[in-house]
Structure 1
């Protein structure tokens, strides 16, 4: 396969030029590398390499200006803005940067296309005056209207002053450099009358480029080689040749000289496959599998390119490449914003934006757990990061200050200072902290340098980034707060990349669409060929309206789409095998709709297109419920549990799901106690239980009276607050939801005491027998050769009008139907319906066995969310339904029936032949 570059060099060689005296000007630096490589294939003679430069380098040389970064331009423009704006109307740097970025882009476009800037800005100002004519005609304009119209009137002043400042410093943005290059063109031509320029591979040119190239052509100082196919030129509606048709028509040079070249490569036979794949990651995985097939025919995948329409697919694609690819070159840089270190500094800036002395626990955990930070908290083999996290969980700390962090991790005081202290003093201080952190990371990584080379490379790039921020802040002093610093940091970060090192001329090439300019490959894989990506579609991030752009021949979305069209079809021109991938699934804003390029290929009818929709191979994974056999070790642990005593809650946990019982009781796996920002339901329950325990324990053995209960009410606030502090630790209950829950806890206790007072005033006699009474009893199970005990704590036992009551408190809602049963066998199998009945009967059985129970007895629940229904008594029903006969008294027969089910349940748990089997919940 011959390439466009090779054809150009061959043509030049046939004209016998002296290559050493030529200056090749290309659209990109990368194309120059390929050109230099192919020079050696043209001739066997030795010669000095010609000058090979990109169009940006050539224009910069012409202009005698130095290009500066977008961020520095923004700072410089803010200087101009401050000079031309009244003090009371000045925006902060952060607000300014949002609209100034757009305006700088417009300045760039106006200059690149050599538009008389005064005309366009005056025109824009006049348009705004007309649009808001009814405003300007009002006798009294509001300050907002005045400021709005004033902005448009100042655009020309902003431009003139800003460009004058840049020119005085011999610097400029791309457009200004182009405009100055045109100004200097005549003197350049006079000074380089013997120099020959070769322009190749260009397509869309701005007015400045057109002027420069045409002048050089007219003065016989240049030749130009285009790369366009006859198929596109013959079709007046085909946008791939939109600019070529304009050039051949509008340039006077081509009236007397040939237009080199119009080729006939596109219509040659090609294997074109269009593949629809769900999601972007699916495309990356398919690229990997496709390359795996292709490498069998071409071991090094020479002359193969992967062109990523969506550059965010770079890392997924690299992770999907076959392991045995021996040579790889990545033209695209890896964005610094995707590196883990970027997320650390983003978190630090976010944390310090609020200028608070206390820090949210999740932010602290995120920072101290970061892969770059955590090693710094390990001192003398002690992991202080873990100690900080543990202290947060144990003490329920939602907010921490630096002093508290130093108390927890005294040996890590220096690192804590860098991360959390004094960022609010000044922007210089914040930036110094960032720079010092990088040096600390470097010192740590240097200890094992060979295994940390990539991380050290990351550090170096961030070191450069923060040095640039320090320089800009020092020179311009526009950053006044952390928020502005964060905004500038993100701006710088978005344009920074970590460049890969590879084999530029060997093996597989991975690149973006723009990097493919001038290059040709035999096999091309193009991903992301969806509307909104290729082409990018309508986007008008500009202050200049569409009609004004048309009037002044500035590019609109149509021209931008034509640029993408050219690049897409140019990739196909000389290729033999083409794989076009697109996303079939609708994502947030893009995807789902295949690109118009695919439809156009199909409608052209020149090539046979193989179109298929594929989906990833998703294995059918059958879900199996966990089954754990009871080994000898498990049985031994069960014997130990039985000897210490089964609790009613552990038994109901087994009823709910045996596998949970196995995890919690046998493996002793407990849920992690996370920080409670909002009081959890179990915390509320604990507080209410403990408060009532404090109130009623002194009353054990005595009859209650309304007067006694009334005296308890005055201690509600103090006691509830005490138990919140004890249970909720250092969590805040003074604001927000927690304050509401605190009030609910007080209300629950108060309502319960009111219920007691109401009962007592109605003439009922209540005597307290026990509060939080612990019971442990032995259960006689002859089938087992080891002791079995049952243990539990009853919230309250009292005597109500001569009837003993066993009471369990529930802060959640419980209805009467939740403590009623029909069939005894259900009580040990159905957790959802009968777990509460099981619990209260277990308490009754324990008290009966321990001799602390005399009949008649009632057992039940007091639900704080259902206090209106009072004491909800356990009841045995003779049949289902509302009309069934109920027996609420617990008799010896009731105890015996429950004991039968209890024994059956414990035998099942301890049966070695009955495995722990997960239930579907």
Structure 2
């Protein structure tokens, strides 16, 4: 395969150019590696390599300025800003950094495109006055400060650029402008060397001017890589820039234009594949690579180009194991490394100083992969102990003292993680570096297994060292929040570089790394609108129309840059796989790129379209079936001897497998921390409060005065039981406060209902509260004793009628206590579990032997108290005109007993397995 670089070298060799005496300028450092490789192929004998520069390095050489990173630029700019801005109008560094980064980008554009700062900043200032407040004779202080800011931009720019030049530093645009200033001096002192520029496309004005100056002085050659299919087409974005240079540069009026090639129209296999989601694309890339391997296709001339570079990790995880030669040209962003989440959590809890921390934040930190090993002592990890204590005591907020009390051994670690940073930047940096040292000491105990983790740690240590140096040199960071802002900026720019052989195997790269390089097989991912091209984004103080006026690049030029790279990638390729995300989501929208549509409309190549749907195996989740082995039956016998409770029996009715897990295996659901009071907690508090109120009156008739006395103690008693049941949970604010007030309202409403009943001439005698019962059942079919047990919330006698009452904090409908067919009571949990429960209480109390009065059983629902006492009833048929029996009699209780007995026999039957029910 003849690549663009090899064609250039052949042309230079053919013209008998002394290759050793050349200065090669390329769009990227990466291209220099491939240039040297191609150079070694065409030379028959050893030669000195020409000087090879990326365009940025070449321009930096011309300017004699040193490039510095964005964070240092911010600090240097803030120095200038503080000098030029009155103290009463100065922003702090954190606020300044948010708008200054955008402004530096604008300065960069202005310099790269050689725009007169005088005209553009005066123009911007005038626009703000015209658009907003120029007609206001008495502007507010805010308005005056705003307009004053725009007027000072020109001063900021001049002072900032002078400040940087005096220190020998520069941002990219300033370096370009200074390079242009020095180009004539450079030409005079470099007359013996020929410069070769190759593979360029979108040049800024400074680059254009520098290259033209060298061309006009016969010190340069330039090789373009453009296909005639784009060059000759009208309004094709791929040739937007190159055709402009061809038309406008004086050099090409008298000199040849190298080159317009003819590769794109040659036969190619182009597959356009729609794949759902980014992970789906990663997995399908693996399929493509496997197919290439199966067809004996070598991967040395294959490139995997990630349109969305965030796919790097899922793609690497999907690369087939048989691919051992792999080169990754992009770095792994430091922000994607697991260690980044640890420091993110730390900054989160320390940005707002506090003596205690939200339990989830604490557990997020302690359960982090880099922290958990530090809690290990011998065979015990104290994280489990801490988690259990937090859950047992319902600790929503935790202090260092709490943690030390739970695990005194780790006092120093807890202080390193959670000691208050006091909003002090130096202390924050010191604590972070101390933590890194602790983690390092733990990892080095098993160095071989932790090589990668130690590498991560090294990079974060370097990052915090840089922050420490910046803080000591500039001292502008005055809060943890401002430190976090700078930390985030540094984190976003730092990468962990991969090691690999740059010329062997599969090449994994981003779109910009592909400049000048050619491959026989190209796989391009994420070819969606908003990614390729990136779409309309405006991160600038300079309005769109002002950019047009001053010939600054807009999204149109940015789209053209991506169009050139996309088409150049497939220009010489023989096999092209283009993947796009078919799924609609908030960011990408699931729309394929206009580049794909353009390929279709050109009708030059036959394009194979397909949409890939992942193979989802049909998974059947068979219902669990547990046979009743001897050990299971033994457990059931043991449980029967202790006593079946009504709730246990109804859990079997609802789903036998739940009964098996909870009662036979004794597996309990894990208790979670109640941030918001749970329904069962609310119910417990109501039960406990009413038990305390009514227990002193057992065996007595209650009076209205008794009820009034209870009402005066509602607040105190409810608070006591909240603290007892909810432990250290906070009920002073938010939803918990509302639920606390609801509990008091429920009890007050219940007492009001009771008082009204008494005032209407009714009598109520309290027979029992929270009465525990246990009854042995007569079941001849079973050879072992069976008991029924349960606690009745309240038994009273109202106007001579005994009532067995169950309290429910939730809503209960009256029809759920009315039964027609007895067999339904042990089959329909949702409808009849309440009836089952209250009838069980009546049965185990042996009511007909204890009471001579009429007996009713039922529920008081606190959510619909207006319904009063909801009685159980037996109906003879459905409908409104059915006859109801609301008082218990022996026949009703015997009918229920028969159903209960059959249910227990089924539970104990060795031939009937525990079979899971489908719960809807």
Structure 1 and Structure 2 fold alike (TM over 0.5): yes
Partner Cα distance (1:117, 1:767) in 2:
94
Partner Cα distance (2:417, 2:629) in 1:
51
**Alpha-carbon distance, 1:591 to partner:** 3.6
What residue is the counterpart of 1:81 in the other structure?
81
What residue is the counterpart of 1:496 in the other structure?
494
What residue is the counterpart of 1:816 in the other structure?
814
- The answer for unaligned runs of 5 or more in structure 1 is none
**Alpha-carbon distance, 1:300 to partner:** 4.4
**Alpha-carbon distance, 1:46 to partner:** 1.0
Query: C-alpha offsets along residues 234-288 of structure 1, whole Å, 9 cap, x if unaligned?
Result: 1122121111111122112222221111111111111111111222222111111
Partner Cα distance (2:864, 2:584) in 1:
48
**Alpha-carbon distance, 1:147 to partner:** 1.6
Q: Tell me: CA distance 1:764–1:137, structure 2 relative to 1, closer, same or farther (3 Å).
A: closer
Query: C-alpha offsets along residues 457-483 of structure 1, whole Å, 9 cap, x if unaligned?
Result: 111111111111111122122222122
Partner Cα distance (1:14, 1:233) in 2:
26
**Residue 889 of structure 1, aligned match among 877, 887, 900:** 887
What residue is the counterpart of 1:418 in the other structure?
416
What residue is the counterpart of 1:551 in the other structure?
549
Partner Cα distance (2:666, 2:379) in 1:
28
Partner Cα distance (1:703, 1:599) in 2:
87
- The alignment partner of 1:184 has SS state of helix
- The alignment partner of 1:771 has SS state of strand
Query: C-alpha offsets along residues 870-890 of structure 1, whole Å, 9 cap, x if unaligned?
Result: 211111111112221111111
**Alpha-carbon distance, 1:776 to partner:** 1.4
How many residues align structurally? 919
Q: Which range moves more in the overlay, 301-310 or 693-702?
A: 693-702
Partner Cα distance (1:541, 1:739) in 2:
45
- The alignment partner of 2:846 has SS state of helix
**Alpha-carbon distance, 1:851 to partner:** 5.0
What residue is the counterpart of 2:25 in the other structure?
25
Query: C-alpha offsets along residues 755-777 of structure 1, whole Å, 9 cap, x if unaligned?
Result: 22222333323222221111111
Query: C-alpha offsets along residues 389-423 of structure 1, whole Å, 9 cap, x if unaligned?
Result: 11111111111122222111211111111111131
User: In 1, are the aligned partners of 2:353 and 2:420 still within 8 Å (CA)?
Assistant: no
**Residue 681 of structure 1, aligned match among 666, 679, 682:** 679
**Residue 521 of structure 1, aligned match among 512, 519, 522:** 519
**Alpha-carbon distance, 1:683 to partner:** 0.9
User: In 1, are the aligned partners of 2:351 and 2:423 still within 8 Å (CA)?
Assistant: no
- The answer for unaligned runs of 5 or more in structure 2 is none
What residue is the counterpart of 1:876 in the other structure?
874
**Alpha-carbon distance, 1:852 to partner:** 4.0
**Residue 225 of structure 2, aligned match among 224, 227, 237:** 227
What residue is the counterpart of 1:117 in the other structure?
117
Partner Cα distance (2:435, 2:724) in 1:
39
User: In 2, are the aligned partners of 1:847 and 1:853 still within 8 Å (CA)?
Assistant: no
Q: Which range moves more in the overlay, 343-352 or 253-262?
A: 253-262
**Alpha-carbon distance, 1:425 to partner:** 4.8
Partner Cα distance (2:759, 2:540) in 1:
79
User: In 2, are the aligned partners of 1:874 and 1:888 still within 8 Å (CA)?
Assistant: yes
Q: Within the alignment, does 1:90 sit opposite 2:125 as a pair?
A: no
What residue is the counterpart of 2:371 in the other structure?
373
TM alignment of 1:129-144, pairs within 5 A: 129-132=129-132, 135-144=133-142
**Alpha-carbon distance, 1:869 to partner:** 2.1
TM-score, normalised to structure 1, is 0.98
User: In 2, are the aligned partners of 1:773 and 1:794 still within 8 Å (CA)?
Assistant: yes
User: In 1, are the aligned partners of 2:423 and 2:480 still within 8 Å (CA)?
Assistant: no
Query: C-alpha offsets along residues 621-648 of structure 1, whole Å, 9 cap, x if unaligned?
Result: 2343222222222222111111111100
What residue is the counterpart of 2:62 in the other structure?
62
What residue is the counterpart of 2:725 in the other structure?
727
Task: Name the Cα RMSD after superposition.
Answer: 1.5
User: In 2, are the aligned partners of 1:646 and 1:790 still within 8 Å (CA)?
Assistant: yes
What residue is the counterpart of 2:667 in the other structure?
669
Partner Cα distance (2:730, 2:546) in 1:
59
Partner Cα distance (1:617, 1:382) in 2:
43
**Residue 917 of structure 1, aligned match among 901, 915, 918:** 915
Q: Within the alignment, does 1:105 sit opposite 2:105 as a pair?
A: yes
- The alignment partner of 2:448 has SS state of helix
Partner Cα distance (1:481, 1:267) in 2:
60
What residue is the counterpart of 2:769 in the other structure?
771
Partner Cα distance (1:93, 1:736) in 2:
35
Q: Within the alignment, does 1:317 sit opposite 2:278 as a pair?
A: no
What residue is the counterpart of 1:244 in the other structure?
242
**Alpha-carbon distance, 1:849 to partner:** 7.5
Query: C-alpha offsets along residues 715-754 of structure 1, whole Å, 9 cap, x if unaligned?
Result: 2222211111110001112222222222222222222222
Partner Cα distance (1:548, 1:803) in 2:
90
**Alpha-carbon distance, 1:854 to partner:** 4.3
Partner Cα distance (2:851, 2:653) in 1:
27
TM-score, normalised to structure 2, is 0.98
TM alignment of 1:248-327, pairs within 5 A: 248-298=246-296, 300-327=298-325
**Residue 695 of structure 1, aligned match among 683, 693, 702:** 693
Partner Cα distance (1:627, 1:187) in 2:
89
Partner Cα distance (2:880, 2:646) in 1:
28
- The alignment partner of 1:524 has SS state of strand
Q: Which range moves more in the overlay, 52-61 or 809-818?
A: 809-818
Q: Tell me: CA distance 1:380–1:285, structure 2 relative to 1, closer, same or farther (3 Å).
A: closer
What residue is the counterpart of 2:601 in the other structure?
603
TM alignment of 1:337-736, pairs within 5 A: 337-736=335-734
